[in-house]
């Protein structure tokens, strides 16, 4: 199946039908914490416009999306005093995509600390809430 499914989990988060640890929202994007982080502060930037992934996205979605990716990358680097930031984005199952609404992973990186497995272990809600609050503060400051 390669059509957009409006009942994917991120579409439900965008419609506030299921909870998320939100960091930021504007007309074009929502930013929230990944529940199975590959590193401390792993954040997802999700455009509101529906597309399965980058391959079927409207080009007009990409400018605002990546402007926010840059803002969030700078904010997480500051919030966690990270040494670097990894940006990842998967398209279709062969690439590792598991949720079929376009999104970009923003992951703070620390020298010598490898990424944890993709969709590995669930993080505690209180840790996600605290990390979201640190990133919100960094975005505001």
Write out the catalytic residue numbers: 103
Of 22-30, 68-76, 89-97, 108-116, the window that binds ligand AMP (rule: CB under 6 A) is 89-97
Decide if residue 98 touches ligand AMP (CB under 6 A).
yes
- Is the distance from CB of 59 to CB of 24 less than 8 angstroms? no
Interstrand relation of 22-25 and 104-109 (parallel, antiparallel or unpaired): unpaired
Distances (CA, A) of 136 to 40, 71, 75, 99: 15, 11, 8, 24
Nearer to ligand AMP, 34 or 75 (CB): 34
State residue 85 phi and psi, 5-degree precision: -140, 130
Return the range that interacts with ligand AMP (CB under 6 A); candidates 64-72, 75-83, 91-99, 107-115: 91-99
Residue 131 found at the interface with ligand AMP (CB under 6 A):
no
Residue 33 Cβ vs ligand AMP, minimum distance, rounded to whole Å? 7
Q: How many CB atoms lie under 10 A from the CB of residue 3?
A: 8
**CA nearest 137: which of 78, 83, 70, 86?**
78
What residues from 21 to 80 belong to the interface with ligand AMP (CB under 6 A)? Answer: 34-36, 44
Tell me: does residue 90 bind ligand AMP (CB under 6 A). Answer: yes
Binding site for ligand AMP (CB under 6 A): 9, 20, 34-36, 44, 90, 96-99, 119
């Amino acid at each position: 199946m390669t059509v957009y499914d409006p009942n994917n989990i991120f579409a439900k988060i965008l419609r506030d039908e299921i909870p998320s640890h939100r960091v930021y929202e504007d007309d074009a994007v929502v930013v929230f914490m990944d529940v199975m982080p590959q590193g401390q502060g792993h954040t997802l930037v999700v455009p509101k416009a529906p597309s399965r992934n980058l391959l079927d996205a409207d080009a007009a979605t990409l400018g605002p999306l990546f402007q926010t990716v840059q803002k969030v990358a700078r904010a997480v680097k500051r919030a966690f005093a990270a040494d670097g930031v990894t940006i990842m984005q998967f398209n279709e199952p062969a690439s590792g995509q598991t949720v079929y609404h376009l999104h970009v992973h923003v992951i703070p990186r620390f020298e010598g600390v490898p990424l944890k497995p993709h969709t590995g272990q669930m993080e505690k809600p209180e840790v996600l809430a605290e990390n979201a609050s640190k990133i919100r503060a960094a975005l505001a400051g």
